[in-house]
Amino acid sequence: MNIILLGPPGAGKGTQAARLVSERGMVQLSTGDMLRAAVKAGTPVGIEAKAVMDAGGLVSDAIVSALIGERLDQGVEKGAIFDGYPRTHAQAEALELLLAERGQALDYVIELDVDEAALIERIVGRYTCAACGAGYHDRFKEPAVAGVCDVCASTEFKRRPDDNADTVSTRMAEYRAKTAPILPFYDAKGIVRRVDGMADMDHVGAEIAAILST
Ligand SMILES: [Zn+2]
């Protein structure tokens, strides 16, 4: 079972990927991690990539394809979760070929769907205790006594500067721009499945499990 998991920042993609790794033994394949590992291990592709990077060049699609092929050949028995790749139509076609050459296929592209306005509310409202780090939310999780941390009784709280509506909107736009080139490709193949990313983590996890068991 090989999948691509997509979702904008704040949709819980990292959490769900971590679950698939720990519960199903799937392997998360991020091109950045694979590249570092190949360079460190001195594999043929790693040596080639290192030469390009040392010369100040960008690692080409051909090198990335070779890198993924090399990693697939090392075995991913329980399936792969492709992370941050493919980003373009050409890369999507290259991945299809890489998998087909190994008698495999991409089974599903699972997108964690979010309602942008609700996501903004979720992110903008969150804050933490400055002393112990306990998490709170203006609407969904206020301390039992207003202004006092439930855990450590501190009265100091903080918010991350990135947690504002503008930043979230920008991140959403970046996410859409990133996925726009590949979603139609996979939609046309009928393998895109959308899961409500606004539901709680367990519910999202159960929906993904249901998709993977079909
Ligand atoms: Zn606290």
- Percent of the chain exceeding pLDDT 90 equals 68
Q: Catalytic site residues?
A: 13, 87, 126, 160, 171
SS (H, E, C) the chain: CCEEEECCCCCCHHHHHHHHHHHHCCEEEEHHHHHHHHHHHCCHHHHHHHHHHHCCCCCCHHHHHHHHHHHHHCCCCCCEEEECCCCCHHHHHHHHHHHHCCCCCCCEEEEEECCHHHHHHHHHCEEEECCCCCEEECCCECCCECCECCCCCCCCEECCCCCCHHHHHHHHHHHHHHHCCCHHHHHHHCCEEEEECCCCHHHHHHHHHHHHCC
What is the CB neighbour count within 10 angstroms for residue 122?
A: 19
Q: How remote is the CA of residue 136 from the centroid of ligand 1, in Å?
A: 10
Check whether 150 has a pLDDT greater than 90: yes
Q: How remote is the CA of residue 197 from the centroid of ligand 1, in Å?
A: 28
For 173-182, write each residue's pLDDT tens digit.
Answer: 988 888 888 9
Q: What is the dihedral of CA 66, 175, 129, 140, to 10 degrees?
A: -130
* Top mean-pLDDT range of 54-58, 105-109, 197-201: 105-109
The stretch 70-91 carries a mean pLDDT of 90
Structure confidence at residue 81 (pLDDT) = 96
Query: What's the predicted TM-score (pTM) here?
Result: 0.81
For 109-127, write each residue's pLDDT tens digit.
Answer: 999 998 888 888 988 999 9
Cα(76)–Cα(81) distance, integer angstroms:
10
Q: How remote is the CA of residue 127 from the centroid of ligand 1, in Å?
A: 11
202 in Cβ contact with 10 (< 8 Å): no
Structure confidence at residue 123 (pLDDT) = 87
